Amino acid sequence: MKTLSREFLEKIINLLTERIVVVDREGIIMYMDKAYCDFIHTTQDKVIGKPVQDVIENSRMHIVVKTGREEVQEFQRINGSVMVANRFPIVINGKVEGAVGNVIFPDPEHLRHFKNNIQHLVNDLKYLRSEVEKDLKSKYTFDDLIGESPAFKKVKEFAKVISGGDSSILITGPSGTGKELFANAIHNSSLRDTCPFVPVNCAAIPEELLESELFGYEDGAFTGAKKGGKKGLFEVANNGTIFLDEIGDMALAMQSKLLRVLQEGEIQPIGGQKIIPIDVRIIAATHRDLEKMVEEGTFRQDLYYRINVIKLEVPPLRERKEDIPLLSEALLKKLEKRFYRKGVAISPEVIERLQQHSWPGNVRELENVLERAINVLDNNTIELSDLPLYIRDQKTDEPNSNQSEGPSSNREWNLLTLPIQIQPLKDTLALVEKQVIEKTLEFTHGNKLNAAKLLGIGKTSLYDKCKAYDIK
Ligand SMILES: Nc1ncnc2c1ncn2[C@@H]1O[C@H](COP(=O)(O)OP(=O)(O)OP(=O)(O)O)[C@@H](O)[C@H]1O
Ligand SMILES: [Mg+2]
């Protein structure tokens, strides 16, 4: 290979307009390119052979040749303005023979221009980081847990007491009772509240991914693994709380791995040798009967004991129906915000009806019913006709209930009293349809709009049918 001539090298350096200075091991300038000379208003013949600190203001090149340590992207003040400089020692045969330095941003204008170019990236990064951090904060406190019934208050008070400790907690209760809300509130009033709250839905993450999600993996641990590896959720939750939701849905093999982590207080990311000590409080939740699962052999007994240090049983809504008025009001306030409504009220008949329902889906079901109601609402008060049929039309779920039959009783009648004779089915159906419409209109005192709503058909369709059956 042909060696580059000095002239050739100089041309390259000048073309690249880098401001370059080279010193020997004593810090004496051996070379300074034209751009650097122009930058500090001098010429090459004036500077070569001079100590660098006499030529360049605030230079540290003579220090770098002594320490042998590079200095990258350091600020340096020259002629009253701040620039950014790099300084590298030149090491030959293990000995520092000199140093080379360059100026990246010769003045604040260049720096500002560069900053402008990357500012949007920095902003994006800041935003994403705050979003991630926000996600790792628990969102609810005990004030968000609505309920004044003795059954609910007892659980809430107990939860407040245990939130201060560090023991594992198992929250049980049927679906939609607020287990996740409890977990959030407990973390928020614990000493760990400034550290992350990391919820993990064990049922939603595919079995084969759960291990890497929880414990993380090292670079190249398996095919398809992200370059550089990934932090596990246990590590993310360090010093905070991990919420293992739906723990009853965790596969047995994974249960064993989790047990080991809980016993040893450390994790080992997949594909690595590294052991990471962790300090995480465990809150687990399930709507399943874990004791029964232990008996059946589908849940590890030792893991059950580990997570069940403190048990919190959230009562189903049907056992605290006195909370329904307060809860409905609170949920409605939340929905008003979502649907941009204001001052929505609930009629006393509706409250009464809601208290008669057995709520298999608990608070979540109540939330859904109210959401549906707010969607079909004409004025500002939720009436019986705004409730879904299955709630509106049932008498009561409790056969022994001594509550009154409620306002729907005058909406029930026996179809068999209709004068039905053997005739084409089409005619019978038309007759039944006519009678049902008449009865409904009787119930709504002739209000066709309400009748259409109750029948679940459009207003025009009802008008057409009334015309066809000659209903006034
Ligand atoms: N006591 C309560 N006060 C206010 N809102 C509540 C209460 N309990 C539950 N909710 C609301 O009901 C919904 C369901 O609650 P959450 O998700 O905590 O239930 P869950 O017990 O975790 O249910 P699942 O077992 O189905 O996961 C949420 O929108 C929550 O905000
Ligand atoms: Mg849940």
Is-contact 108 81, C-beta < 8 A? yes
- Residue 177 CA to ligand 1 centre (angstroms): 5
Q: Which of 170, 180, 289 to mutate to test the pocket of ligand 1 (most atoms within 8 A of CB)?
A: 180
Integer-rounded Cα Rg, in Å, for the chain is: 37
Which position has the token pair 């300090």? 279
* Atom from ligand 1 closest to the CA of residue 286: 25
AA identity, residue 35 = A
Q: What is the pLDDT of residue 201?
A: 92
- Ligand showing the shortest atom-to-Cα distance for residue 174: 1
Atom 8, ligand 1: which residue's CA is nearest?
A: 178
Extract the tokens encoding 180. Answer: 């996740």
Q: Which of 139, 363, 366, 367 to mutate to test the pocket of ligand 1 (most atoms within 8 A of CB)?
A: 363
- How many Cα atoms are found within 13 Å in the side-chain-facing hemisphere of 247? 32
- Residue 267 CA to ligand 2 centre (angstroms): 26
Kindly report the pTM of this predicted structure: 0.61
- How many Cα atoms are found within 13 Å in the side-chain-facing hemisphere of 143? 2
DSSP 385: G
pLDDT, tens digit, 9 for 90 and up, residues 346-398: 999 999 999 999 998 999 999 999 998 988 888 889 999 899 888 887 654 44
- Residue 178 CA to ligand 2 centre (angstroms): 7
* Atom from ligand 1 closest to the CA of residue 367: 12
Atom 15, ligand 1: which residue's CA is nearest?
A: 178
Mean pLDDT of each 10-residue bin along the chain, 472 residues long: 78 78 95 89 94 93 94 82 86 92 76 73 72 71 96 96 94 95 95 91 86 87 74 93 95 92 91 90 95 95 94 96 96 90 92 93 94 86 89 57 37 51 74 86 84 86 86 80
AA identity, residue 429 = L
Q: What is the pLDDT of residue 66?
A: 94
- In 3D space, the residue among 303, 295, 292, 311 whose CA is nearest the CA of residue 254 turns out to be 303
Q: What is the pLDDT of residue 1?
A: 55
| Alpha carbon distance 323, 150 (integer Å) | 10
* Atom from ligand 1 closest to the CA of residue 179: 21
- Ligand showing the shortest atom-to-Cα distance for residue 180: 1
Atom 13, ligand 1: which residue's CA is nearest?
A: 364
* Atom from ligand 1 closest to the CA of residue 171: 21
* Atom from ligand 1 closest to the CA of residue 173: 21
Ranges of H-type helices in 106-220: 108-135, 150-163, 179-188, 207-215
- Residue 408 CA to ligand 2 centre (angstroms): 34
Which position has the token pair 């904060």? 137
Q: Which of 142, 244, 364, 365 to mutate to test the pocket of ligand 1 (most atoms within 8 A of CB)?
A: 364
Using CB distances shorter than 6 Å, the residues near ligand 1 are 145-147, 173, 175-181, 287, 327, 330, 363-364, 367
- Residue 181 CA to ligand 1 centre (angstroms): 6
pLDDT, tens digit, 9 for 90 and up, residues 159-198: 999 999 999 999 999 999 999 999 999 999 999 988 899 9
Ordered by where they begin, the domains of the chain are 6-107 (3.30.450.20), 142-315 (3.40.50.300), 319-411 (1.10.8.60), 415-468 (1.10.10.60)
